[in-house]
Every structure is written in structure tokens, then in C-alpha cells.
Structure 1
Amino acid sequence: MKKYLVQFKPFLIFIGTFFAAYILLTLVYKSYLNSFESDNIDGITAVVGSNVYWLMDVFNYDVLIQKSLSGAYLEVWYNKHYVIRIVEGCNAVSVMILFVSFVLAFSGKLKMTVLFILSGTLFIYILNVIRIALLAVLLFRYPEKVHLLHGVLFPLIIYGLVFALWVFWVNKFSKYAK
């Protein structure tokens, strides 16, 4: 048994660090969400909505983003049509938690790890704001493509780019980089 523990030590350290970070960050985020009333929008989602509004406004799109009267989400109106809603799951925090957990599990030098986590989460945040704005415009024009756009294409893009960040991290900066 000891032979296998020694043989698989790097893998076990990776798995242990990944799950410890993932569980801790998820619990912290869940605690944050529990501080809001069930019919209120959390602060992160509200900021995402504000940034989506700002981005669409910069491109002179006719956009209105407002809190729904019927639930804890933001309504996105484009060209006077209700096109999408922004809920807590749209703020990409769960993707960021996954990203951070993986980078910590394959950590490198402390300064580089912290810088990569900060720049990577900022990249994911910006990408997510762009994703929501594009989704609003595309679903206005192609409402019949909701499953393809929201359920397939955009998750593929965001998770694909996160995966590319992970590969870049492991090959260039982690303690396993050659």
C-alpha cells in the first residue's frame, strides 16, 4: 500500500488540493449568497448586469436591464423586447471557482500563481459579460436558436477557453512545467 501512495503521491496531492480548494471556495460563495434574501439579486450578479448594460450601451444598443418584479433576476430588454434574464448562475462565479481550484492544485511560485489566478478570473469575468451581451443580441435576432446558443455554443466557448488557460498554466508556470 505504501508503494502505491508513494507512486501516486503527485496525483493524490493534486486531487486533495483541488477538492479542498473547490469545497472551501464553494462554501464561502454559498455563505455569501445566503446573506441575500431569496427575492433579492446578489451583488456580483448585479455588477455583471451593470457591466452588460455598459458594454451594450457603448455600442449604442437600445438596452434596458432591470430587476424583475417576479423573481431574483435581471431582465434584459433589447430593442424594447424582453430577450433574456440574468440569474445568479450567469455571473460565472462557479466557473471562476473551478478555474482557481485547478490552478491551486497545480500551483507554481506564489507570485505567479496569484497573478495568474487574478488575471484569469478577470479574463473569465470579461468574457462572461461579453457572452451575455452577445447572447442578448443573438437571441433577439434568432430566438429559435436558444438551445444552440445558450446551451451549446457559449458554454463550449467559455469552458474551452478556461481549459486553454489551464493547459497554458500547467505547461508554462506550474511546478510541473518543464
Structure 2
Amino acid sequence: MLKLIYKYKSVLRFLVIFIGSYLIFVTLYNLFLTYGSSKTYYPDIITHTVANQSQSVINALGYAMEVVPSKREAAMNLNYNDTTLARVVEGCNSVSILLLFIAFMLAFFGETKRTLLYIFSGAVLIYAINILRIALLTIALYKYPEYTELLHGTIFPAVIYGTVFFLWVGWIQSYRKPEKNEK
């Protein structure tokens, strides 16, 4: 048994750091949502901010969108002509996907400065793509309501998870050793 553990030490190390850091981050985030979230921002400051930033992008694209706190659930409604097109709930604010991305990066940590720069850059990219995703999804739901399930359930989640996947692959690829040309 010890032989197996030693043989797969790097894989086990990766899994322990990845799963451990993710669980710690999720616990801290849930504590923040429960105890640290300001009552000034509904439903929480991050979701509130994401909804407002999404509204700004939608408005910049020429649609007079309004963000209104939901009266029925912990969400911010994106309304157009007094019709709710989309709801931004806590799960839409990209925090959970950011925590997953960061946990992976900590488990696959390289040189400190380079890794921290990649984490920061990747987090900013994921956050920005999420804002754009919500904005484009809201407009698409207005223009093509018959495709709601496909857009919300498949295409737009693939965009955000695909971004994270490509960031991970890019990070792993950066550690590949260049092949030597044999003559």
C-alpha cells in the first residue's frame, strides 16, 4: 500500500490540495453569504454587482434594461419593457467557478509570481466573460425565447466552463518541455 502511495504521490498531492482548498473556499464563501454579506446589497454584494454590470453591458448594446430586486426569491431580475427576461441568482455570479479555477491552480502551483499572475488574470477573464455571458444570454432570451432551455441550459454554461477548461489546459501546456529536434 505504501508503495502505491509513494508511486502516485504527486497525483494524491494534487487531489488533496485541489479538494481541500476547494472545500475551504466554499466553506468561507458560505460563511460570507450567511454572516458577512451586507444587507445593503440584495441578495448579496457580489450577485448585486454582477447584475448591475450585466445591465451596463446590455444598455451599452442598445437595450434599455432595468435591474430590479426580485420580490419572490434571492435574485436580481433583468427586465425589459416591464418583462423579466433573466434572473441573476447567487449561482450566476461566477464565484463558484472562480473558486474551482483557483483550487485547481493551487493544486498545480508553479513558480509563485507566474502562478499568482495567471490566477489573477484568469479570474479577471472568467469574471468578465461571465458578465458578457449574462448580458448576451438576456438579449438572446428576448430575441429568441423559444430557445431558452438550449441557451440557458447548454450553450451559455458551455461558454463559462469552456473558458475555465481552456485556462487549465493552457496552464498545463505551459509546463510541457519543448521537444528536442533530432538530426
**What range describes the TM-score normalised by the shorter chain of this pair?**
over 0.9
**Given residue 129 of structure 2, which amino acid in structure 1 is its aligned partner?**
L
**Given residue 9 of structure 2, which amino acid in structure 1 is its aligned partner?**
K
**Given residue 58 of structure 1, which amino acid in structure 2 is its aligned partner?**
A
Instruction: Find the counterpart in structure 2 of residue 2 from structure 1.
Output: 2
Instruction: Find the counterpart in structure 2 of residue 20 from structure 1.
Output: 20
Deviation at 1:53, TM superposition (A): 1.3
Match of 1:155 among 154, 157, 182: 157
Instruction: Find the counterpart in structure 2 of residue 76 from structure 1.
Output: 78
Instruction: Find the counterpart in structure 1 of residue 29 from structure 2.
Output: 29
Matches within 5 A, 1:113-128: 113-128=115-130
Aligned-pair Cα RMSD in Å: 1.5
**Given residue 163 of structure 2, which amino acid in structure 1 is its aligned partner?**
L
Q: Is the 8 A contact 1:63 1:80 kept in 2?
A: no
Distance 1:75 1:103 in 2: 33
Distance 2:61 2:148 in 1: 23
Matches within 5 A, 1:94-105: 94-105=96-107
Distance 2:146 2:66 in 1: 22
TM-score (ref. length: structure 1):
0.92
TM-score (ref. length: structure 2):
0.90
Distance 1:80 1:49 in 2: 17
Instruction: Find the counterpart in structure 2 of residue 41 from structure 1.
Output: 43
- The one-character-per-residue Cα deviations of 1:39-96 (angstroms, maximum 9, x if unpaired) are 9411000110111111112222111011112221111012443211111110011110
Q: Is the 8 A contact 1:65 1:76 kept in 2?
A: yes
Q: Is the 8 A contact 2:42 2:48 kept in 1?
A: no
Q: Matched residues, percent identical?
A: 39
In our comparison, the structure showing a higher alpha carbon Rg is 2
Work out the number of aligned pairs and report it.
174
Task: Please identify runs of 4+ aligned residues in structure 1 that moved more than 4 A.
Answer: none
Of the two structures, which has the highest relative contact order with CA contacts closer than 8 Å and spacing of 6 or more? 1
Which consecutive residues of structure 1, in runs of 5 or more, have no partner in the other structure?
none
Distance 2:81 2:104 in 1: 40
